[in-house]
Structure 1
Amino acid sequence: MAQEEEIKMIIARANRIPVWSLPYTYLAIIGIGYFFTFYDISDIGLAMPAIDAQFHIGSSLSLFLALSVGLIGYAIGSYVIGTVADIYGRYRSMILTMALTAVGSLGDALSFNVPELAVFRFITGLGLGADLNLVSSYVSEFAPPGVRGRITVYTFIVGILGQAITPFIGLVLVPVYYNGWRYLFGIGAVIAFIALLLRFELPESPRWLAAKARDIAGAKKVLEMMESTALRRVKSLPEPKPEEVTLEEQKFPTLYVFRRPYSVRLAILVVMWFFWYIGNYAFLGDAETILASAGFPVASSIRYIAVGAVGYPVGAAIMAFTADRYERKFVIFADTVVWFIGLFLFSIKTGLFIYLGSFLAALALGMYLQVAYTYTAESYPTRARTSGFALTDGIGHAGGAFGAIFLPILVASFSFAFGFRFIAVTGLIAGIIALLGPRSSRKTLEAVSA
């Protein structure tokens, strides 16, 4: 059989499987890595007030260390390791990303001056940026078309618990112990090392093996394991229906992204993520500090965000039932409407509204993130999926740096209400832009990325 026919058959065999065809423990393994990712996204904002006080670094440098250094590493890591994943495989790259985050987080905990902290925040960012990219692409390449959104959300539910639990851990540690911020990072390092060890159990993506590595034997071996697992869950599998597959010259992955239709999708998704990340990082990184600056005690500021953080897993759970039922881009828009309402309530700056607004903002984040990650990953072809995701997410993160820096300026220059209503609007703009993207729900990856 010609190589093109072999690849078409491998993809057809993968697409015919109607259920998750790997051990369910693999979802947990991926989820633990996700848990650390969201744990770290939250812990830096909780730790920085104590780090600032001990290192006497000043608010401007504190903000740069807390967000900008990590975001620079995030963008670089996402693209570089995403490109490595397209060339050398998803499996090796997912081991690398978790190793970087584990070392980085341990270094954060052991840092005793500003340069050390900056270096390890950068290393942590390298791993975090790439891991968010890789997990979404990896799970999408294994999940059946009809339940791809739901399966990716399952891993996300485990991960988003990190964002829900971290504020409570921070509340117990940071205001109480002098080295509480070190303990906070240390806990993250332990979680990351556990996730690293567990990831050695994962298989390589058969789609990548066939389409990029041309390793037909390796792809078939993984597929046989998937089919065997699936047959224990369903009585039989339908006959594979090969789709058209074009074997193109093996090029540097990024070159594919700048060809139509992917260049148009890149533009849409970059702008979508840019506007979303403005509010995402501003809220996650600045909310506690701005509340404290507005006269709320530090413990109360953390408590408002911690109680609201219950919304993260609730939002993810909602998406487990809706991510595949409705067209994904419409779901993304609806999520941003919830975000807009939540931030508008938060901006009123009274106790009950802060709690409710914090909950709805967290609910919107829990609903938006994994569905939008899945949507981004499935919009690009296998040969450049992680590279396309990396460019999209990496450039989009410029919005995160913008939001984190300018929200405090907007609050100081205008008002608390103006600042938080501004990021409410930018989130809604992201949802409107998503409506310009392709349809993807219940389609095979090859049909979406064609």
Structure 2
Amino acid sequence: MADYAHHTAGIGFSANPYRTDQPSEKTMAAQQHQNERANVHRAAHIAARLDRLDVWSLSYLFIGIIGVGFLFTFYDIFDINVSWLQSCVQLHSGCTPANAGQPLKTVLLLNLAGYAIGTVILSPIADRIGRKRMLMATLVLTGLGSLYNALAPDYTNFVIARTLTGLGIGADLAIVNAYIGEVAPKNGRARYTSVVFAFSAVGAFLGGFIGLFLTTPAAPWPTGLPFAIAGPHLEGSGWRWAYGLGALLAAFGLLMRFELPESPRWLISRGHLDEAELVVRDMELRAGHKKLLPPVPPASSVLPAVSLDKAPLKELLGSGFYLRRVVLLLAMWLFAYATVYGFSSGYTVVLAGLTKNGKPVYSPPEAGLIAVIGVLGIIAAALFAAVFAERMDRRFWLPFGTVVTFFGCYITAIGGQHLYVAFLGSAIIFFGFDVWVGPTYALSAELFPTRARGTGFALVDGVGHLGGAFAILVIAPRLEHMSPLQAFLLIAAFQAVAAIILQFAPRTRNVPLEKVSP
């Protein structure tokens, strides 16, 4: 008997079915309900502690880590803007600078389709398994796509590589913006989104400049780069080196992303409260070194994100509240990206294809140089938005950028073959179609709940990239029959429509995420 007692000791009440002190099913249900309420209260308390932090509370190194990934993705986007003329001649039979726009349509169309497909498929996984894991997975996918581009033996493989790259970039953009929105203070979400976006501006400039350096022949300034090295010694393969460098940037960014912490809001939404506690505690310590922390608001004032069993995409499309936001933002991004990609991916080809009195307005080296100088406007725009993003309502940045874009179009068009005027006008155009992107990225992420933020942003931004495909298929073929001013104004007109649509979005500046999107 003693042995039996010793054997059953510590097993619990379930070891002996004849015991009369076992709790009833009603008692067990009550206990479970009490535990659930305690977890909800704890989650709300952690969320309240996080929400009171009004300064950047992670290591500033993490901004650089995320930024390097963005630098690579935009390097890859803008690399093709200049390098395409050389790769097309080598890979596509009969391709010349005059007709390079036709095969480019297929490349850009499938690249943008990859954005839409990749972001809709991969971003919901980030809502399930976490931001950090998918941030690494998307960079692996994008880097492999860039390496495939560098090694592509023919046009078909080049197109496949661009599609693969698009799958990773589309998802990466969505997850990065969801992550930044969740770790930044409520009074700085647009600011820090714009700071990270500033890295993309550097990547865009590097992509354009390196493409110009490796894929165009040397030419006296200002008709080209005097130190460009495209020529017989590279055997027309400078574009391969450009994509290979992109793959190296991706590998570097991947190694750095291992250092990122998981999003505490995502951890709360999935019930990983112990892990969320550790991240928030570390954030509080960092914030406390910068300033005296305000008191924690009552937990009842915060509605913590709740993890639901239904798929994030199904939840968004099945809710009238969020479905209206999806439709609004999707329409806005479709029109906005028609302008963005009309300029960013096809600007060099558009410039090289412009004619006046039957003669080209700009030679290929001139067109490439104008585009690269224009990217300086993106750097200026990113820095401008990083400083002033929180000074103005998110919805007003797009109209502001639209006015600037139209002004740049006019300056570029009247410049004719006066290259310095074209340089100035191009920089103004690129400033105008880019200065609003950071704040609007922040707005798009804010309008969806944590449990489906990656999915929501992916849906509107990823599918919205098809607006860029519209620019390639519908707008581009009509440009060659227009004057420079008409061509530029047509591209910019879509941004104006997007600006009008965005005015119907709700205000989110300095509002807690749980209140904007419960």
TM-score (norm 2): 0.83
Partner of 2:8: none
Structure 1 residues 246 and 89, CA gap change in structure 2 (3 angstroms): closer
Distance 1:437 1:345 in 2: 32
Q: Which amino acid aligns with 1:281?
A: Y
CA deviation after TM superposition for structure 1 residue 196, in Å: 0.5
- Give 2:9's aligned residue: none
Matches within 5 A, 1:33-432: 33-57=69-93, 58=95, 59=100, 62-175=103-216, 176=230, 177=234, 178-211=236-269, 213-242=270-299, 243-245=302-304, 247=306, 249-258=308-317, 259-294=319-354, 295=360, 296-348=362-414, 350=416, 351=418, 352-432=420-500
AA aligned to 2:303 is: E
Of 374-383 and 282-291, deviating more is 282-291
Ranges in structure 2 where 5+ consecutive residues have no aligned partner: 1-36, 217-229, 355-359
Q: CA deviation at 1:30?
A: 0.3
CA–CA distance in 1 between the matches of 2:101 and 2:89? 13
Letter of the 2:309 counterpart? Q
- Distance in 2 of aligned mates of 1:404 and 1:42: 15
> Structure 1 regions of 5+ residues with no counterpart?
none
Letter in 2 for 1:31: G
Runs of 4+ in 1 over 6 A off after TM superposition: none
- Alpha-carbon displacement from aligned partner over 1:184-203 (angstroms, at most 9, x marks no partner): 11111111100001101101
* 8 Å CA contact 2:404, 2:432 repeated in 1: yes
Shift in Å at residue 246 of structure 1?
6.8
Relative to structure 1, the CA distance from residue 276 to residue 311 in structure 2 (aligned partners, 3 Å threshold; closer, same or farther) is: same
Instruction: Please state whether the residue corresponding to 2:477 is helix, strand or coil.
Output: helix
* Partner deviation per Cα, 1:402-424 (whole Å, 9 max, x = no partner): 10223331112344332221111
After superposition, the Cα gap between the structure-2 partners of 1:159 and 1:300, relative to the gap in structure 1 and judged at 3 Å, is same
Query: 1:156-210: CA deviations, max 9, x gaps?
Result: 1122111123222111111114211011111111111000011011011111111
CA distance change for structure 1 residues 246 and 319 in 2, over 3 Å: closer, same or farther?
A: closer
Counterpart of 1:150 in 2: which secondary structure? helix
Shift of 1:265: 1.1
Residues 77-102 of structure 1, C-alpha deviation per residue, up to 9 Å, x if partnerless? 11111110111111111010000111
Distance 1:88 1:248 in 2: 12
3-state DSSP of counterpart to 1:440: coil
Q: Which moved more, 1:319-328 or 1:239-248?
A: 239-248
Specify the SS of the correspondent of 1:195.
Answer: helix
More helix by share: 1
Cα pair 2:305 2:449 within 8 Å, conserved: no
Q: Is the 8 A contact 1:107 1:120 kept in 2?
A: yes
Q: Which amino acid aligns with 2:349?
A: T
Alpha-carbon separation, structure 2, partners of 1:255 and 1:309: 39
8 Å Cα contact 1:285-1:404 kept in structure 2: no
SS of aligned partner of 1:2: helix
Amino acid in the other structure paired with 1:41: I
Give distance in 2, aligned partners of 1:382 and 1:320. 24
2:246 partner letter: G
Deviation by residue 1:358-396 (Cα, 9 ceiling, x = unmatched): 111111233122111111011111011010111101221
In structure 1, distance between residues paired with 2:275 and 2:62: 19
Q: CA deviation at 1:61?
A: 5.9
- The alignment partner of 1:310 has SS state of helix
Q: 1:289 to 1:60 in 2, by over 3 A?
A: closer
Q: Please say if residues 272 and 434 of structure 1, whose CA atoms lie closer than 8 Å, have aligned partners that are also in contact.
A: yes
SS at match of 1:145: coil
In the alignment, residue 342 of structure 2 is paired with which amino acid? A
Secondary structure of residue in 2 paired with 1:232: helix
Tell me the CA shift for residue 237 of structure 1: 4.1
User: Structure 2 counterpart of 1:21, which letter?
Assistant: S
Structure-1 separation of matches of 2:323 and 2:249: 37
Question: Following TM superposition, by how much is the alpha carbon of 1:338 offset from its aligned partner in structure 2, in angstroms?
Answer: 1.3
Percent identity (aligned): 35
* Alignment partners' CA distance in 2, 1:424 and 1:407: 11
Give, in whole Å, the separation in 2 of the partners of 1:246 and 1:65: 42
What is the CA–CA distance in structure 1 between the aligned matches of 2:179 and 2:304, rounded to whole Å?
20
> 1:264 is aligned with what amino acid?
R
CA distance, structure 2, for counterparts of residue 334 and residue 241 of structure 1: 39
State the secondary structure of the residue aligned to 1:22.
coil
When Rg is computed on C-alpha atoms for both structures, the one with the higher figure is: 2
What amino acid is aligned across from residue 340 of structure 1 in structure 2?
Answer: F
For 1:192 and 1:282, the matched residues in 2 are separated by 26
Q: Distance in 2 between matches of 1:97 and 1:419?
A: 35
C-alpha separation in 1, matches of 2:391 and 2:102: 46
1:20 matched to 2:56:
yes
Q: CA deviation at 1:267?
A: 1.0
Assess if the C-alpha contact under 8 Å between 1:30 and 1:135 holds in 2. Answer: yes
Amino acid at match of 1:432: I
Q: Is the 8 A contact 1:140 1:377 kept in 2?
A: yes
Per the TM alignment, residue 248 of structure 1 is displaced from its structure 2 partner at its CA by: 6.2
